[in-house]
Amino acid sequence: MSVCPANFDEKVKCPFVDRKEFIEAFENAFWNIDQKNYSILVYYGVAGIGKTSLRKELPTLIEKHNESDWHTRVIWTSIDFATEQYRQPYKFLEVLSSQLRQKYGIKFNSFDIALATYWKKINPYSPLVKEDYSENSIVRDVLDICDEFVPVNLIPNVYKLAKSLPERYQKWALKRKEDISKLPNLEPTEIYERLPVYLAHDLADHLQNTSESAVIFIDTYEALWEKDRDKGSFNSRDEWLRKLIENIQKSCLWVICGKESLRWEEVDEDWKNYLYQRKIGKLPEKDALDLLKQCGITEENIQKVLIESSEGVPYYLELSIDIYRKIKQKKQPTPENFAKVPEGIFCRFVKYLDGEEKETLKVLSVPRYWNRELFKKLVKEFNTGYPATSFSELHSFSFMDIDDKGKCSMHQLMRKSLQDNQDQDLKKEVHNFMLDFYSNQLKDLDIKAITQEHENALIEAFYHAKESLEAEELCEWFISVSDPFDRAAFWQLITSMYEEMLQILEAKLGPENPSVATALNNLAGLYKRMGEYEKALQLYQRTLDIREKTLGSQHPDFATTLNNFAELYRQMGEYEKALSLYQKALEIDEKVLGPYHPSVATTIDNLALLYRQMGEYEKALQLSQRALEICEKVFNPQHPDVAIVLNNLSLLYYQMGDYDRALPLYQKALNIQEEVFGPQHPDVATTLNNLAGLYNSMGEYEKALPLYQRTLDIQENVLGLQHPTVAATLNNLAELYHQMGDYEKALPLHQRALNIREKMLDPQHPDIAITLNNIALLYNNMGEYEKALPLYQRALKILEDSLGLEHPDVAVTLNNLAIFYSNIGKYEEALPLFERAVDIIDCTKLGLNHPYFSITINNLIGLYDSMLEEMIFYGYLRS
């Protein structure tokens, strides 16, 4: 059985239909490339409107120009984001440089060196292979000279190295030596972020040296947002492309095709001066008629029907041409063979497919994607009668698409039409089959070995579960199947699914159903872990209201929500609110569950954390030791909850100045977490951060530094760049550099931490005060006293208001402010601050051996000595 007519084995390739006004827009931008710093021409419109056809046609104008005026050659290339891997910045840049290198012999020395350095830093034990690089790559030439690519040895001596490389690199080395020489000192994430800059410099150098111009085409731009349409982060997804454009300037025209106009002016209003945005609307009737004629449809009555039903969308016309030719194999097409309204055109189309084809397409319209193997399974499972060996024939139709990885899909309007016009029982059976298919891929999932395939399986399983399961079944199933992803910190992935499931539950079960409360509680927990505290706060409040109303105020689930609510308040710095909720939760748990239940241990440990932050260390110690006792009794020694309690107890000992007790507990907690979660989990990062802080306080800076750096890498990768936890690590790393005397590294880290905290936390949060205090101390040590004073004063005000007048953190700030006054000779202002700090530390019963006490008392003694020397100098006392 043949799907396509014998005289055209491939899908119809329709000729380009002239879009005169849009071609003129390109010509205008093309001739004025050098008039402004940047030139970006944007074509946008709905899918199928003809953007890609236009994009494929425009390079012919460039080639004609190059043939007629070879003195001013224009180079060009094209990249389509429909290929998923090209949406990754480094892969886009790699492909762009490769295409321009192959077509025009352009050298990308800076980019090649930077990319090689990046890969070497993240894969230090994997050697670079010369054969993996093109003949024109500097990396290949480097590997000809050196046995191994070792950035720390090669890059600081770029100029010297260039002299031993071919002569063509010497000019580049002189110009770009400063940028390249910095590479060994950059973290992999820093190099990754600067890759667009390195490539831009290379391309800009080429254009400047040759007086050529460039045109870069980008298609399917909307694919960048395929997994995240959140408006707040919209412009962050293509920030790297703006960086690339900004660093080339002039001589380069960017032609971007997508479904929507760009919104770069939201980032910087100046972009309005450089964006030329043209919406592609309906294909004019004349052009649509020309297309039909060129494809052999000459019957006027059929032409009229197709033009009306297409609504001016070229892709509809292409589908019509496919079907017209198929019908004509058997009989003369008539106007009745085609739908008159867009909603019905696909239904009419499928009437002229063979029975096996129609049944197969009905089944294929249920999943969103498939590959050859899944296609075979579906055909076999639902006995459509279609030969599994005819995969390529079926996918030759224009409403079918296959990407370069063999991922297949169907045009959405065709898909929707098939679903609306098939037996609904069959549709549900296919959904059930697909749910089982993807759920099986998620069974017994090792959280340390989750791959992109597992992520895709969860996404697709959830899609089919919504169609297969009743609301309460959906909730129970999703909580179970998403739990490994939650524990593995794939929070961004599952949050959107929880949000969607919550809407389903509320619609089907009502807003006060227990399942709704469960979804609200879990979603709030995700927001809390991602640092979105305001969203979490609202959801926890709703959860609490529902559970109190439906379960009562003595139910364990109600206590769980109280504990979660309290934990959120603790992280937000609202300690008094947190305290009352923790105490109430603990009272319920002990009464209902007994004193040795895991939930009791969790609440006790959280309450201990709160008391530690409030400076009440004795209360915290008793609770933390009790939490550990419960966990060791109810869990095995390698349970992650044991590690959490160990980590928190270690942190308490550390802040009490008992470093000898803290160190082995940190190491034990770290061993458990790495064994359970793997090395890249946020809980591992938390313990690494705390352990680094301990080494820092012990003066073992060389041990602390790599731990902080590893912590930051994990947190930025998992939590994102704007998470409060990232700010804490930045603050700690900056403190380490401060103590090591490297002020230039410390200051930008502190400032970045402050920016995150001021953006994500309440203005009166103690963490903001801590960062202000640290920056002030840094300015003080740098001698920039005018900058330090207002920061100290602001920090002290926040801490006194949020923690009270007797908190140890208040004492620390008082001590630092007193040092500031001492440094500028204002001893009378420093003295009461030192004395007050000593009184606070004594009141909190930290003990005479605590580092806080010894540091502050020594500072106070030093102040007395300075005051005495001053009095002797001015003759108030005799020596």
d(CA 510, CA 531): 29
Specify the pLDDT at position 377: 94
Instruction: Reply yes or no on whether the pLDDT at 420 is more than 80.
Output: no
Query: How would residue 877 be classed by pLDDT, with cut points 50, 70 and 90?
Result: very low
Question: Do residues 555 and 784 touch, judged by C-beta distance below 8 A?
Answer: no
Q: For residue 15, count CB atoms less than 10 angstroms from its CB and return exposed for 0-12, middle for 13-18, buried for 19 or more.
A: exposed
Question: Do residues 292 and 306 touch, judged by C-beta distance below 8 A?
Answer: yes
Specify the pLDDT at position 655: 84
Specify the pLDDT at position 808: 77
d(CA 299, CA 306): 11
Instruction: Reply yes or no on whether the pLDDT at 342 is more than 70.
Output: no
Instruction: Reply yes or no on whether the pLDDT at 709 is more than 90.
Output: yes
Query: How would residue 830 be classed by pLDDT, with cut points 50, 70 and 90?
Result: confident
Decide which of 77 and 149 is more confident: 77
Which structure tokens are listed for 592? 């209902």
Decide which of 38 and 861 is more confident: 38
Instruction: Reply yes or no on whether the pLDDT at 845 is more than 70.
Output: no
d(CA 597, CA 827): 56
Instruction: Reply yes or no on whether the pLDDT at 140 is more than 50.
Output: yes
Specify the pLDDT at position 399: 67
Q: Angle 844-845-849 (CA atoms, 0-180°, nearest 5)? A: 125
Specify the pLDDT at position 42: 94
Q: How far is CA 233 from CA 227, 268, 446, 580, 729, in A?
A: 12, 15, 31, 36, 23
Average pLDDT over residues 380-393: 87
- Sequence-distant (6+) residues with CB within 8 A of 452 are none
- Per-residue pLDDT tens digits for 313-334: 777 787 778 778 878 888 888 8
Decide which of 336 and 10 is more confident: 336
Average pLDDT over residues 571-583: 89
Average pLDDT over residues 808-813: 82
Which structure tokens are listed for 3? 């799907």
Average pLDDT over residues 545-567: 93
Query: How would residue 429 be classed by pLDDT, with cut points 50, 70 and 90?
Result: very high
Specify the pLDDT at position 14: 65
Instruction: Reply yes or no on whether the pLDDT at 866 is more than 70.
Output: no
Q: What percent of the chain has pLDDT over 90?
A: 39
Decide which of 849 and 366 is more confident: 366
Strand-strand pairing, 400-402 and 408-410: antiparallel
Which structure tokens are listed for 741? 């005397």
Query: How would residue 400 be classed by pLDDT, with cut points 50, 70 and 90?
Result: confident
- Per-residue pLDDT tens digits for 720-769: 888 888 998 999 999 999 989 999 999 999 999 999 988 888 888 888 98
Question: Do residues 42 and 278 touch, judged by C-beta distance below 8 A?
Answer: yes
d(CA 794, CA 777): 13
Specify the pLDDT at position 339: 52
Average pLDDT over residues 223-237: 64
Average pLDDT over residues 609-627: 89
- pTM (whole model) above 0.75: no
Lowest mean pLDDT among 146-150, 238-242, 615-619, 673-677: 146-150
Among residues 228, 234, 230, which one has the least CA distance to residue 267? 234
Specify the pLDDT at position 305: 80
Query: How would residue 344 be classed by pLDDT, with cut points 50, 70 and 90?
Result: very low
Among residues 212, 265, 220, 208, which one has the least CA distance to residue 242? 265
d(CA 521, CA 558): 10
Alpha helix (H) residue ranges in 720-850: 724-739, 743-760, 766-782, 785-803, 808-823, 827-843
| Bridge partner list, 370 | 408
